[in-house]
Structure 1
Amino acid sequence: MSGTGDARVGTSATPSQVDGTVRVVVVDDHPLFRLGMVGLLSSLPGLTVAGQAASAAEARELVRPGTADVVLMDLHLGDCSGIEVTRELVAADPDLAVLVVTSNEDDESVAAALRVGARGYLLKSAGPDQVERAVRSVAAGELILGREVAARAMATLASGRTAVRLPFPELTDREREVLDLMARGLDNSTIARRLVLSPKTVRNHVANVLTKLAVPHRAAAIVRAREEGLGVD
């Protein structure tokens, strides 16, 4: 294979598998991408797909301590954030290597994923060789960033800038804006007028916020938002 261009950092961790086979679980709510990834991994020597999950609930049920070596995790799952699922899985099994594979390339998402214990971060545009190297690397205890992600990190360091912590990186900018206005006590109609959106669009954004934050109702979302500094000047 050609040079990786990926950034790796060695650690003292060792793979949990004993027979040399890396057991991988793919978690992604997009069926075509998930099945394509399963097909790729199944074709690689020394890797075996131990399962696949289309939601956070399925991932929690499938990935129990000792059942997998690597989990490929999308950040946007239908019923929850991949950040939160990563936090839960790593807390339950510290030997588990989570490799985030997502379309999000912003610094805040990368920082959030690494903070909760992910060992790698790739964009969905990564080629098959990058995916293979990343899976084998995190299984061997290395921390790896895809080429594009590493380039952004290096640019940030070179410029002397510090990444600003953004609350709820799993939300889109618009969803975060809606949550901020919710936390300020505005109802959907007022939010719609403020953002020049239709009431239906605002309702959809609110529903997405509740889903991604895994909270049961609007009041709980407002509490979470205010704890993170939203809704206050």
Structure 2
Amino acid sequence: MIDVVLVDDQELIRAGLRMLCESTEDIAVVAEARDGREALSTLSRTHADVVLMDLRMPRMNGTEATREILARWPAMRVVVLTTFDDDDHLFPALSAGACGFLIKDSSSGDLLTAIRLAADGGSPFSPQTLRRIVDRAMSTQSRAELPDTLTDREIDVLAALGIGETNAEIAARLHLGLTTVKTHVASLLTKTDTTNRVQLAVLAVRCGLVT
């Protein structure tokens, strides 16, 4: 069972998310919070595998809450709930350690898939959101060089991450086992000192692996 905590200041959105999660057999909403401060208090006494985090909230916003959550519980997975006008918030949330980004008007299937993917160690995000994050990063950051420690296969995987491919898609295209791809991704995170796949995608673009 995947334990989920919902963090959003709008009760109707939380109710809708709870209803959707409760329609499954493998996802359970174990708690809700109305802002970042309440989320921290809730998580201090409630186990969670995945946190669905709104960005714009009173008292403590989603980016601040994400940073504090991961400082206290590094293994926790935070998926940001965002709207298309949240460009100024997406990159800070990524820097804070969010593992993925979900548009609030995503389909029910996409939402459930995102929760499962995050719980499994993946980074759910839509291709259009990834593109916007990468574009924003490129407008504020200079080109980068690939670490000398990367193998040729790791560079291939990094390039695939840069265009938003999933582990399954990378495995199929590079003729690798799924476990092997996961191992390469884990190695890339360590060697590049990044915390999630989205940051790896940004790095791939900064290093010229994706145009």
TM-score by length of 1: 0.56
The count of corresponding residues between Structure 1 and Structure 2 is 141
- Match for residue 98 of structure 2? 118
The correspondence of residues 1-233 of structure 1 with structure 2, limited to 5 A, is 21-64=1-44, 67-153=47-133, 156=135, 162-164=138-140
Shift of 1:64: 2.3
Find the aligned partners of 1:85 and 1:25 in 2 and give their Cα distance: 13
User: What are the ranges of 5 or more consecutive residues in structure 2 without an aligned counterpart?
Assistant: 142-211
Give the match's secondary structure for 1:126: coil
Q: Would the alpha carbon gap of residues 78 and 153 (structure 1) be closer, same or farther in structure 2, given more than 3 Å must change?
A: closer
The answer to whether the Cα contact below 8 Å between 1:102 and 1:124 also exists between their aligned partners in 2 is yes
Higher RCO (CA < 8 A, seq sep 6+): 1
User: What are the ranges of 5 or more consecutive residues in structure 1 without an aligned counterpart?
Assistant: 1-20, 166-233
TM-score by length of 2: 0.61
Amino acid at match of 1:129: G
Shift of 1:110: 2.0
Rg (Cα) greater in structure: 1
The answer to whether the Cα contact below 8 Å between 2:56 and 2:62 also exists between their aligned partners in 1 is yes
- Match for residue 154 of structure 2? none
Q: Would the alpha carbon gap of residues 104 and 63 (structure 1) be closer, same or farther in structure 2, given more than 3 Å must change?
A: farther
Amino acid at match of 1:164: T
| Structure with the higher fraction of residues in helix conformation | 2
The answer to whether the Cα contact below 8 Å between 2:35 and 2:61 also exists between their aligned partners in 1 is no
